[in-house]
Amino acid sequence: MAAVAAHPAAIYSPALLGLQATVADSFALVMAARTGVPAKTAFDVAALLKLSADELAVLLHTTTKTLRAYREGKKRLGPAASEQILKLLALARQGEEVFGSLTAFRRWLDKPAYGLDNQPPLALLETSGGIDLVADEVARIAHGDLA
């Protein structure tokens, strides 16, 4: 977590910094997902990963219009979308640690990964299970396995 604190608040909004302990604990993540995260948090995580609003909408199986309406109405996302957002935040932290920067991690997300059947990791982030597969691949890279 020290790597996260060293980054300017412009990258990690106060809301995202406040979620760091939550995403580090699987049980806390599930409990937070059940209550839902604010739609603004989804946009903050998207900005962190340099995802467009359209890419975010695709990952969450909704429309950009709906996401923006939720954000403007200060509404919370449902449990499934909230879980995805929290897992994406955890993945961003992990990727930043392993790749040295969010920019390098984002580049990796776009490239076919050998350990993911040559699928670009970004394409797998549409489901909670896909996020887990990508996180496992990042962990393998961290341990020196070719990916």
C-alpha–C-alpha distance, residues 100 and 29, integer Å: 24
What is the pLDDT of the chain when averaged over all its residues?
87
Percent of the chain at pLDDT > 90 equals 71
pLDDT one-digit tens code per residue, 12-24: 666 676 677 777 7
Q: Kindly state the average pLDDT of the residues 26-31.
A: 86
- What is the band of 28 on the pLDDT scale with cuts at 50, 70, 90? confident
C-alpha–C-alpha distance, residues 42 and 33, integer Å: 12
Of 60, 56, 36, 54, residue with least CA distance to 45? 56
Of 80, 31, 81, 29, residue with least CA distance to 71? 81
- What is the band of 136 on the pLDDT scale with cuts at 50, 70, 90? very high
Place of tokens 């499934």: 80
